[in-house]
Chains A and B, each alone.
Chain A
C-alpha cells in the first residue's frame, strides 16, 4: 500500500496502463487496499482520450463507470452510473462501478443537498453518448460504411443495411483511436429508447449488503494500523487543563496517548481537541479512554443551557427581526379590528445518529497522506487535512468507502483530520473510531429553533396579513465565528418562498448565538420552517372550520411562478436556476389535489382518536404533498397506520429507489416528531446513546407508506431530503385531528395524549 502512494500524483495516472488495448476514459486510481478487487484493477485512469472522466471500456466489453458521489443509502452509486449506461446502450450486467477518490476533476463530490442526479444528469449522459459515438465511428470505419447508417443495440453497434453487428468489446481498441467528439456532435437517445432511466435498477451493492460483504468505512483496514478513541472536550472549545494517562496506558492493548489541540474558532472541520488513546484494537482503545484522568477547562460555551436558551430564542422571536421579504403592510392590518391569531413553535437540536458512527483511517508518510473514510465529501477531506497538516491537498488521497448513513453529518470531515493528526504524530496508520456516545455528544447538530407566527383573519377566515419570524443559531456560525443571522441559503428553505398569495406578508429572522457546532441535517432548515408554516396553516384552517386541503389551495391561489426578483428577495433556489426550476404553484396544486385523491381524503372523518393530517412543502426543487393518518389510543400511544406522499421531482431516474427515500423520510420524520431532542447543560450534551436519544423502531414506524410519483418532463430535482419536511407537520396535524391537542413543540414524547383521544 505504501509504495502506491508515490504513484498517485496526477502525473502518475498516465503511467498505470495495465491493459494496453483498453479504451479507457475513466479517472481511476486503485491503491493496494484491503478491499480493492482484482477485476477493477485493470481499469486505470490513463489515456489521451477523455470524452468523459466517468467511463472506461475494457477490451472484453466490460464497462467501468465511476461513481464520483458518495453512497449513503440514496442509491446515487447506482442511479448515476445508470444514466451513463443508458446513453451508452450498455448492458447493465456488464457494467462495473468504480468508486472515485476525491478529485476536483469530477466536479463537486459533496453528496448533499439532494442534487446528485440533478447536477450530473447531463454530464453523465454526455459521457455515455460520447463513448457510444466513438464506438459507432470505429465500427463504421472497419465496415467501410457511413456512421450515420449505424445504430447501437444492447452493448453492440449495428449496421442494419448489411446486417453486421459488433460487440462493444470487439470495437474498444479501434474506438480508442477515434477523436473525442465535440459536445455538439454528441446526440442523446430519444426518451422512448431509454433502457434504465425512469425504469430503475436495484442497488449495485444489494447482494453484498445482504451477505455482509459490503465494506463501510469502519471495515477499512491496512497493515500496521492502530485504533484510536478520543476523549473530546465535553464543551465546545474546551481544552485539556491536566492529564494523567498512566491508568490508560496500563490497559491491555493500549500503546500510547496523544493530545490533540483544540481548534481555533471558527470550528469549521477542525478537530475538537482532546486526548486520543491508541491501541491494538477498538475495544482496548475504548477501555483505555475510560481510564484517562483529564481535567478540562470548559471555556466560554459552558454557559449553554438548553432550557434557558429556549426562553431566549422565544423572546427574540417576539421582537422585530431582520426583514427578508415584505409585501403590503402587515402592521397596519394587525392594528385594525381584525381577529389576530398567534402561535409559537419550537424544535430542539437534533443529532444525525447514522448507524455507522463517524470514522476515518489515515496513513501519513512525510507530506503524503492516504485516507479511507465514509465521507460525503472527499474533496473537503483533502482540503481540511491539507489545511491542518500544511501540505498541498494534491498530496492527499481520499478513498471513499460505503457510508453507513450520512444525513449530512458525513459532509464534515473533522474525524478524518483527527486521524491524520494522530497518524502523523504516531508515525503509523491510525483508525479513529467514534463510539455512539461520541457521535451523539459531539455532532454538528441540527439547530434549535423558535418561530413566531401571527395572522390577521378576515371575515371569511382567511389571513389578511401574515407575519412569520424564525430564530436559530445558523450553520454559518460553524464557518464564521459570531454569525448570528441565518443565511439566504437557510432562509430559502420554506421561509422566504412561502407560496401563499397574500396581500400583506412579512418574513423575518432574528439573531441567535451558537454554543455547539451547527451543521446540515437531512432537509436542514426546511424541517422547522415547514413545521411552523404548515402547522400554522392548519391552525388557521381549523379556526375557519375549513377543509385543510381546500384552505391551503385557496391560500396558494392560482398556478403561477413566484417572482422573487420583483419582490427584492434573494432566493438561491438550492443552486438551481429559476428558469429551469421555478417555484411553480401550479405544480404545488397538482401534488395537493393528487394526495387528496390517493389518500381518500375526507372519506373518513377525523376525531375520536383517529386523525388525518396534511402538509405540503417544496424543497430541493421538489414538490411534495403528504397525508398522514394517526391513531391515538386511551393510553396516549400514537400509531401511524398510513402515510401517502405525492411527489413531483421532475424526471425520476430510479423510481423504486425514489420511493424508498420517501418511505425512509417518513420514518426519519417520525423520529424527529416522536423523540428528537438534544439538550445541553453547562455546555455539555445530556444525551449519549439510543436509550436517551431515541429513534424510531419498527413497531412505531409508519405501517404503510405509499409514494406516488408524478410523471413529467421537468428536469430532475431532489429526492433524498424532500420527504422529511412535510411529514412532520402532517403527522402533528393528524394528531390534532385525532385528539384536538395542538402540537407546537417537539418532541411528542414530552406531551401527554392519554385521555385526549375522545376530545
Chain B
C-alpha cells in the first residue's frame, strides 16, 4: 500500500467516527415502527416535551437507545479483540474466539438458562465465567515448563478446549429435551442484542472503553511483533509481557461482550481484515478504525435483524455473516495477496 493511501487512511478514521453517530441515530429511527425524525430528536434532547408521543419516547429511550449503544460497544469490543488476536498470533485466521471464549461462554450461558433461569443476572455471569474458565484452561495448558508461552500450543489448546466445551453445550441441549429454554439457549448461541438494557450498557461501556484503550496502549508493540518474537525483542519490546497483557485484556473484553450479546460471529474476524486493507497494517490507526467500523457494522446488522422479517427478529449473527462474508470474499478476490 502506498504512502498516499495511508494519508487517506487518516481521513477515513475521522469519517468513520461521523458514520458512528449517524448509525446510532438510524438505529433509533428505524425498526418495525419507524419513529419520525422529529420525535426521535425530541425524545433524545427534550423528553418532557408535550408534543411527543409517549410510545415513541419509550421506544427511543428505553428500547432502541440502549440497544444501539450496546451494539456499538459489542461490535467495537469484538473487532478490537480480533485485531489484537490477529496481531498476537500473526495469523489471519485468528479471531477473538480462538482461545475458546465463545464455547466457554456458551456452556456457561446454557447452564445458567437451563438450571437457574429465575434471575436474568445469572446469564451474563454464567457466560463470563464460562469464557474465563475456557481461556484459563487454554493458557495454563500452553504455558510450558520454562514459563514461556508457545503461540502454537495456545492455538491448538484453544481448538481442543473449544471442542470440549461445545460438546458439553450440546449435551446440555440434549438434556433440556426441547421447550422454551432450548430456544433461549440456541438464540443466545447465535447472538443478538435483544437483551439490551441500560444496565448492560452501563456494565459494558467502561470495560469496553478501558479494554480498547489498553489494546491501543500496545499498538506500537503489536507493530513490532510483526517482525516475529525475536524481531520485536530486538527493538526493545518484551514479547512475553505483551502476550500476557493482550491475552488478559482481550479475554475480559471478549467475555464481557459475549456475556451481553451472545456469540456474535464474523465481526472479530473480518472487520480487522477489511480495515487493514483500507487503512494499512499500522495498529495505531488500525485499532481505532476497527473499533469504529466494528461498532457501526453491528449497529446496522442489528437494524437489519429487527426489520427484515419484522415483527419477527432474526439472530444478528445471521445478518453479520450475510453482509460480511460476500464483502470479505470480494476483497479476498480483488486484493487477496495483501491480506
The answer to whether A and B belong to the same complex is no
| Residues in chain A within 8 A of chain B (CB atoms) | none
